[in-house]
């Protein structure tokens, strides 16, 4: 877990016996919420005197990924291992793309886990990441568990965009906001990772250090039409950052994401802001089946001109 999240974990540890049945850990993407959520799950399952101790059987099982009272729900595309039905297939025969949603069947399987007795006679913990990736049926199925939580069960929902969750889900969780780390701490961490041009990539990531590492690994996004669905969201993201920087420069303010430093005519501010909003909406559409080349070409054609 990252050092800037330690105070949150310490606060949870002090009241570990009085925590509610559901926590919603939320904040910008790329700040280490998943690491915090996993460490919180380990805290809840730890059987040592000082939690989490990293030494008891429960901690060792958790750290090795084998704790019987822990379940993790996430889209197949994010899973560390392929789902069983895909794992049995030879790589050459896998034609179906991994799902980018958390499906209702996954939540139903979770219910089977939560409503049976604990293997260790303690808690059962379910981590959902990212929670906004549940499709409608999955969200409604999870809501039933949140409304009538089984004894000894704990839900940890991690979210980059909590506003996209059902209001009824949010209302049944205690929110734990996680903010951006201090710039100095983020830069120190990035430099420890050996990241070159850490200041530039941290600025491009809006202050989120893990996102900075992802952006640096991906490199500069080509602002051209693409045939690959996976390239659509990075393109929309890059265009939105450019638009916001252009709008800030038009208002006489410094660029936030360091995509540009040149002057921008003040009268272009509204057009760039409108384009930034449009890119925010387009980012939500990038994950749905469509013609990537036509969609990317349309985004690029909408860039304001001088």
Q: What is the pLDDT of residues 248-274, one digit of tens each?
A: 999 999 999 999 878 899 999 999 999
Is 299 exposed, middle or buried, given 0-12, 13-18 or 19+ CB atoms closer than 10 A? buried
* Rounded CA separation 52/39 (Å): 8
For the chain, what percent of residues have pLDDT higher than 70?
A: 92
- The mean pLDDT of the chain is 89
User: Phi/psi of residue 283, each to 5°?
Assistant: -60, -35
Count CB-CB contacts under 10 A for residue 109: 13
Does the pLDDT of residue 87 top 80, yes or no? Answer: no
User: Phi/psi of residue 72, each to 5°?
Assistant: -125, 125
Is 15 exposed, middle or buried, given 0-12, 13-18 or 19+ CB atoms closer than 10 A? exposed
Domain 3-177 has CATH 1.10.3720.10: no
Per DSSP, which regions of the chain are E strands?
22-26, 70-73, 124-128, 153-159, 174-177
- N-to-C CA span, the chain: 46
Reduced to 3 states, what is the DSSP secondary structure of residue 41?
Answer: helix
Token pair recorded at residue 108: 């139903």
Token pair recorded at residue 209: 């250090």
Contact 208, 29 (CB under 8 A): yes
Predicted confidence at residue 261, as pLDDT, reads 72
Contact 57, 46 (CB under 8 A): no
Count CB-CB contacts under 10 A for residue 28: 17
pTM given for the model: 0.85
Is 39 exposed, middle or buried, given 0-12, 13-18 or 19+ CB atoms closer than 10 A? buried
Does the pLDDT of residue 93 top 90, yes or no? Answer: no
* Rounded CA separation 277/54 (Å): 45
Q: For the chain, what are the domain ranges? A: 3-177, 182-219, 220-306
304 pLDDT tier (thresholds 50, 70, 90): very high
Residue 214's H or E segment, with its range, is helix 209-218
Segment 106-143, tens digit of pLDDT: 999 888 788 776 677 678 999 999 999 999 999 999 99
Q: Which of 36-50, 186-200, 281-295 has the weakest average pLDDT?
A: 281-295
* Rounded CA separation 104/288 (Å): 18
- Secondary structure letter of residue 47 according to DSSP: -
| Mean pLDDT of the 202-224 span | 94
- Secondary structure letter of residue 134 according to DSSP: B
Contact 106, 135 (CB under 8 A): no
Q: Would you tell me the crossing angle of helices 292-301 and 232-250 to the nearest 10 degrees?
A: 10
């Amino acid at each position: 877990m990252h050092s800037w999240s330690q105070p949150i974990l310490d606060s949870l540890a002090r009241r570990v016996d009085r925590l509610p049945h559901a926590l919603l850990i939320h904040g910008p993407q790329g700040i280490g919420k998943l690491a915090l959520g996993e460490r919180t799950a380990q805290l809840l399952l730890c059987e040592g005197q000082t939690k989490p101790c990293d030494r008891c059987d429960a901690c060792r099982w958790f750290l090795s990924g084998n704790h019987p009272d822990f379940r993790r729900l996430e889209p197949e595309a994010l899973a560390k291992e392929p789902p069983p039905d895909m794992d049995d297939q030879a790589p050459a025969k896998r034609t179906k793309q991994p799902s980018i949603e958390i499906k209702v069947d996954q939540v139903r399987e979770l219910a089977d886990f939560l409503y049976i007795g604990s293997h260790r006679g303690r808690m059962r913990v379910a981590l959902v990441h990212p929670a906004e990736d549940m499709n409608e049926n999955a969200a409604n199925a999870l809501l039933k568990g949140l409304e009538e939580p089984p004894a000894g069960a704990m839900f940890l929902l991690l979210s980059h965009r909590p506003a996209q969750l059902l209001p009824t889900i949010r209302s049944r969780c205690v929110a734990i906001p996680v903010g951006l780390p201090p710039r100095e701490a983020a830069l120190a961490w990035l430099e420890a990772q050996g990241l070159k041009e850490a200041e530039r990539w941290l600025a491009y990531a809006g202050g989120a250090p893990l996102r900075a590492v992802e952006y640096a690994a991906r490199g500069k996004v080509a602002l051209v039409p693409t045939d690959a669905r996976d390239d659509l969201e990075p393109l929309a993201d890059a265009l939105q950052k450019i638009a916001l920087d252009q709008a800030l420069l038009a208002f006489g303010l410094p660029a936030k994401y360091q995509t540009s430093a040149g002057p921008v005519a003040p009268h272009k501010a509204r057009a760039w802001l409108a384009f930034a909003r449009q890119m925010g909406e387009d980012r939500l559409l990038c994950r749905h089946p469509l013609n990537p080349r036509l969609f990317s070409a349309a985004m690029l054609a909408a860039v304001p001109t001088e």
